[in-house]
Structure 1
Amino acid sequence: MPGDWKPIAREYDPLAAGSIDGTDTEPHDRAVWRAMHAHHTPPELSSNPDRTLFVGRLPQNLEEDQLRDRFSRFGVVESVHLVTDIVTGQSKGYGFVEFRRGRDAAEAQRECRGLEIEGHQVIVDWEVGRKMKGWIPRRLGGGWGGRKEAGQLRFGCVDRPWKKPIVINPQQNPTDTRGGYTARGNRDAERYTRNRDSFRGRRTNAPFRREEESRRRARPFYQRKDEGESRGTSNYRRSQNNADYHD
């Protein structure tokens, strides 16, 4: 990952916003696919985006004067704009509130989390449509996501920042400092590149045990000193042989 990685997005990318760490290469739901193929042009408004708040999930019958009264307790409200349908003229359930001072807008954004208006829990956040390049609204599959149950969470914002990507760089054939052979992970190198002399006094792997067993069985019977001891018959045979020699 580049060194300038940030948990907050600087430029909106629907594919990256749909990923928990911003590294996905394919969309995981249809909303991300829609946002990737959508074309959105921010509206031309005279309000200052640095002092404007977005208010969503508003009641359909709410008017601009009522919305102004709700936010006027935080400071002087310059303008209020409710987005309406171009055909029916009804409210679409969201709008924008501009304050005269930026600190009043910051206080309203901080204090209005969980605000309810006529039984509707509204969303109050900063306007990003004119501030962030490439922004795609939620109605087109973008935005910062919905509920967790819907599976359409979007990351890269303040509420849900990206998680740090996990970068794994496995070493190729690391060396064991004790024996000088390659570590486990490459079975072929482990089996055929080890030296028999380096395994004296240590537990060997299966191929070398089979090799030692075949060599031990190939020796003549009179050289197998440990075979009789392992069977428990060497003392009896030695006693019989000594008796024969003394007789």
Structure 2
Amino acid sequence: MKNIFVGNLDFAATDSSLRAMFERYGTVDRVNLVTDRDTGRSRGFAFVEMSNTEEGDRAIAGLNGADFEGRALNVNEARPKPQGGGGRGNGGGFGRQRREPRW
């Protein structure tokens, strides 16, 4: 299985248009077009999962820099998120209970 990052997408791109483009290179298991949580609009990137590693490599080679809906695509193997990233850092005072004054 190969997980592929697709960047610099037009905001009007759809799951089905991405699937059709990648299916020229092999079997597409899943397309995840990333959208803004608040507005529902595309954030301009997606992840495509292909079942065969060789087909995924061919798709990356064939589509990186290719024109899709007027934009040059950025297509690479997706890198996993670093462990422990994100969150709110070292607490930052969230949820901390205050002590009663001692007087």
TM-score (norm 1): 0.33
Distance 1:105 1:59 in 2: 22
Query: Counterparts of 1:78 and 1:110 in 2: how far apart (Å)?
Result: 19
1:110 to 39, 61, 66: 61
Count matched residues: 85
Distance in 2 (CA, whole Å) between partners of 1:125 and 1:102 is: 13
1:62 aligns with 2:13: yes
Higher RCO (C-alpha 8 Å, min separation 6)? 2
The structure in which a higher percent of residues are strand is: 2
Of the three residues 53, 57, 80, the one matched with 2:4 is: 53
The separation in 2 between residues aligned to 1:111 and 1:75, in whole angstroms, is 12
Identity of aligned residues (%): 32
Q: 1:188-247: CA deviations, max 9, x gaps?
A: xxxxxxxxxxxxxxxxxxxxxxxxxxxxxxxxxxxxxxxxxxxxxxxxxxxxxxxxxxxx
After TM superposition, where is structure 1 displaced by more than 4 Å over at least 4 residues in a row? none
Q: Greater helix share, 1 or 2? A: 1
Counterpart amino acid of 1:85? D
Q: Which amino acid aligns with 1:97?
A: V
Q: Distance in 2 between matches of 1:123 and 1:53?
A: 10
1:91 aligns with 2:48: no
Q: Which runs of 5+ in 1 are unaligned?
A: 1-49, 137-247
After superposition, residues 170-189 of structure 1 pair within 5 angstroms as none
Higher gyration radius (CA): 1
Letter in 2 for 1:83: V
Q: Considering only aligned residues, what root-mean-square deviation do their CA atoms show, in Å?
A: 1.7
Equivalent position amino acid for 1:82 in 2: L
Alignment deviations for residues 24-72 of structure 1 (CA, whole Å, 9 cap, x no partner): xxxxxxxxxxxxxxxxxxxxxxxxxx51100000000111001100110
The alignment status of 1:72 with 2:31, answered yes or no, reads: no
Amino acid of the structure 1 residue aligned with 2:78: E
Distance in 2 separating the partners of 1:84 and 1:118: 18
3-state secondary structure, aligned to 1:80: strand
Structure 2 CA distance for aligned equivalents of residues 113 and 65 of structure 1? 19
Q: Matches of residues 189-208 of structure 1 in structure 2 within 5 Å? A: none
Alignment of 1:101-140 (within 5 A): 101-130=52-81, 133=82
Unaligned 5+ runs, structure 2: 86-103
